[in-house]
A and B are shown apart, each in its own frame.
Chain A
Amino acid sequence: MTAQANSLAPGLSAPPAAGGVMQPALLTRLRRRYGLSVVLIAILLVLVVLPAVFMFVGALMSGGMADPNAHFTLQKLRLVYTTWPYLHALGFTLMMSGGVAALATVVGVATAWLVARTDIPRKGFLELCLIAPLFLSPFVGGLAWLILGSPKSGLINVMARDFLGLRTPLINVVTTTGIVCVMALYFVPYAYLTVSSSLRNMDPAMEEASYLNGAGIVSTALRITLPVLRPALISAYFFIFVLAAGTFSIPAVLGGASRVPFLAVIVFQTSASYPIDYGKSAAVGTVLFWVSVMGVMLYRFASQSARRFVTVTARGFRIRQVRLRGWRGPAMAVIAVYVLLAIGLPYLALIYTALTRYITASVLHAPWTLDNVMWARDAPEVTDSIVNTLLVGVVTPTICVGFAVLLAFAIRRLRVPFARTLDYLAMFPIAIPGIVLGTGIFWTYVTTPVYGTIWILVLAFLASYLPFAYRISDTALLQIDKSWEEASSLCGAAHGRTLWRVTVPLIRPALLSAWVMVFIFSVREISAAILLASPSNEVLSTVSWNYLDYGDQQKAAVLGLIQTVILIGGVLMGQFVFRVRLTQAV
């Protein structure tokens, strides 16, 4: 062990003048330091690197892991990387994700500007409305939009027929444009939060100087505000791009691979429906992985230059608010329409569907029923999935945040060896979309007893959300004064004790908000869960997906609503029990 540790750090030299008596104590301490690093690195390798490696291995195999005749082959990679259907899907994925990111960023900028820079009333409430979709499930949103906007039986089209007498469908979300728009709805909050925090950090005098130099409101917004925000916009754009490219739920619900060749959907379909080919699924996963890595690199580049661009601000509260006057109505309407599309209509549709027996040609003769609700109350399948969802929802954030704090403390405070490596490993999963991680985890654990249990989901979610929890813990550590901890160490407390008794209580608010956010992410997750689903580890999102797949929108809607209730419960708990400001955690 000692020899190993020493060979890991060739550059390290023992302090000079250390007396012979000191030597053994020093060695013990070194071993302890390296010991921690080695353990942390090992955990991270297993948790986040192994699945990625196994996915590549899987892409090179002719058959599944359990197949004794499987051998290495380049055939699948060649197929996926060089033939038209897959290249087309790649192009399509890039285009759609680019479109989603552009749309979400534009809406995010516009709304953030309205809230931060104008005299629009009820800002706090508006902001809450703009952020709310973040706490809801995109899958459930996609389901709701399928119910609302499919060309024949979509509620909006049905009502247009009922009340306006229209013969042709009013809208159709089961198209590329429709999918892009619905996805954009659920990514607007990310753009909003990035842009509004940049707007808050921007010296308002820059805009005021523009007014005094004779420029009007529009001209100032376009020539000063937007360019100064540009790095923030670019980083928001790529952040959303990566999220969108890895999103399985909405394109799967609204498209299906036949119509919309979206990589994330293909990964699922090649491993879930006939002809099942796990190797091909993994190969497509690797393409998506590279897309993601590229997006994350561009994002990092942009946010670094954004940081260089940050300007000092003298006094935050002083900004000449743009008077909207007659534009107040239209401005409020823009936000109201967004909220209606992202939250209002979808949940009305879900509730309507949950309370009806089947889809009708007219809402005027809706077959109202409580059967679906009764079914949800009595079906053991539903109870099981609720229990599983809650279990995953509680276990994942607890381990995730605990491990993240330990990592951050070891890296930033103990300055363990290989801190940079640890940091990279901990952040690595942001480049792995859930569905890709699911593929990797599948290949890694399919032959182990963990596969098929609820713990496989916990493993997947832990890896997925570790970067998020780690980033929050690290930022929180940066913000507290080191001397508190030093005081504790000087008082003779061991590192573990210092961490537990001093550091953790000091950064408690940040940790609690990280916990609540990871809870929300875990409860609504579907991309990895769907790949790892088996009858014994169903969660609400996968059961809901199954019913939707059978064509039973009513039961899918009920399950989606139950999931939403749990999510709202999580948010309320965060807000009122933990008293954390969730918006700052994101």
Chain B
Amino acid sequence: MAQLQVDRLSIRYGQYLAVDDVSFDVREGEFVSLLGPSGCGKTTTLRCIAGLETASSGRIAIGGQRVADGSWEVPPNKRGVNMVFQSYAVWPHMTVFENVAYGLRSQRVPTAELTRRVRDTLEMVGLGAFEKRYGTELSGGQQQRLAVARAVVTSPRLLLFDEPLSNLDAGLRERMRVELTELQRRLGRTSVYVTHDQAEAMAMSDRVILMRNGRIVQQGTPRDLYETPNCRFAAEFVGNANLLPGVLDGPGRIRVGDLRLNAATPASGDADLLVCIRPENVQIAGEAGGENVFAAQVERVGYLGNSLSCEISAGGLRLRADLPAHSRMQQGASIHLRVDPANITLVPEVAEAAI
């Protein structure tokens, strides 16, 4: 039995469909991300799971218990879920200790146990020394930890995160991401995590749900999403991709511009398709000849330190290739490149219109 079931959820604001027929499950202990560009309905979906937003239609069940069915709903304080807000929402008139204790007081936890649990949780997020400070006397990173402590201390059936790292600056964000992932592994809480940052989603999640315009585009493990995107949007949003219009020549054989390549993944029936080649999967071939080896011209080179970001032309096409920095590629050089058939993904072009 899944810990969270979202079934055909739609949320409408007037004429505008913010969330359109979204269904997904989250298993016990699983960490799932809702990923998508800003405005695609992630927050709205999350808030609806929390009970802060009312569904127009659809059902939500948490721990097998129905909490929303159409406009019927269990209020947020009775759902047994907790959330880390984008703005942290630390209460400024309470100390760090009181912020964390608040939820336990609502549950009428006895004082001794309450004190122990609050202290343990604060210790765990590294705020043990700050329990007497007021919420507003903390730095951004500390407020973020406090928000996490406050959300986990109540042992919610479901933990929700709404872009918790987006208000931190870059360096801190990286560190908090690691900390959060570690905490998550330790606690093993069932979590739904909203973010528009694909790196964050990939690094933290067991499963990623990719959304666009209020709908789910694709869901799967980070590896699934990266290696087998099911449409142009998925390929472009998750990592970098060369997307080239191609034609199916035969089983496992495709024509892209003037290039003829072999692909390991079987193409779906249609003849028109997009060929997805990740820049880092383009390798330098020692010599001409061999499977998927083609001649190319280096048009532009960008030095990134750990790699060279090159724009190349081959077979009348332009594509990006990330080549090793030590290859000392020069602009205008003629070289031979190779792409492993396993690294060529075929994406149906028609899927685009429907999304």
Contact = CB atoms under 8 A, between A and B. Distances in A.
A205 B167 CA distance: 15
A304 interface: no
Interface stretch (A4-12, A149-157, A307-315, A516-524): A307-315
A206 B89 contact: yes
A53 interface: no
B75 A211 contact: yes
A142 to B, nearest CB: 38
A402 B239 CA distance: 60
Contacts of A215: 77, 102, 106
Given A213-B102, A213-B103, A219-B106, A228 B77 contact: no
Nearest to A314: B87
Interface centre among B47, B75, B77, B90 (most CB of A within 10 A): B77
Given A309-B92, A320-B52, A212 B107 contact: no
A124 to B, nearest CB: 17
Contact of B92 (A205, A228, A313, A314): A228
Given A213-B82, A215-B106, A224 B87 contact: no
B345 to A, nearest CB: 37
A213 B87 contact: no
Contact of B87 (A210, A216, A228, A313): A313
Nearest to B73: A323
Contact of A208 (B85, B93, B102, B154): B85
A216 B77 contact: yes
Contact of B154 (A205, A213, A227, A228): A213
A228 B75 CA distance: 23
Interface string A379-404: 00000000000000000000000000
Contacts of A219: 106
Contact of A209 (B51, B53, B89): B89
A230 interface: yes
B86 interface: yes
Interface string B142-174: 000001001100100000000000000000000
Contacts of A210: 91, 102
Interface string B73-85: 0011111011101
B50 interface: yes
A277 interface: no
A214 B106 contact: yes
Contacts, number: 82
B136 to A, nearest CB: 8
Nearest to A214: B106
Majority SS at the chain A contact face: helix
Contact of A213 (B47, B51, B52, B106): B106
A228 B89 CA distance: 12
Contacts of A206: 89-91
B86 A314 contact: yes
A423 interface: no
A320 B90 CA distance: 17
A320 to B, nearest CB: 4
Contacts of A224: 91
B278 to A, nearest CB: 34
A553 to B, nearest CB: 50
A389 B41 CA distance: 58
A416 B92 CA distance: 39
A203 B89 contact: yes
A318 B18 CA distance: 13
A214 B102 CA distance: 9
A215 B79 CA distance: 11
Contacts of B90: 206
4 closest A-B pairs by beta carbon, nearest first, are A214-B106, A213-B103, A205-B89, A211-B76
Given A209-B83, A227-B93, A311-B92, 5 more contacts: A206-B90, A208-B76, A214-B107, A228-B93, A320-B47
Interface of B: 47, 50-53, 75-79, 81-83, 85-93, 102-103, 106-107, 136, 147, 150-151, 154
29 contacts: A203-B87, A205-B89, A208-B76, A209-B147, A210-B91, A211-B52, A212-B50, A212-B52, A212-B77, A212-B81, A212-B83, A212-B103, A213-B103, A213-B106, A213-B150, A214-B106, A214-B154, A215-B77, A216-B75, A219-B106, A223-B102, A227-B91, A228-B92, A228-B93, A308-B136, A309-B93, A313-B87, A314-B85, A318-B47
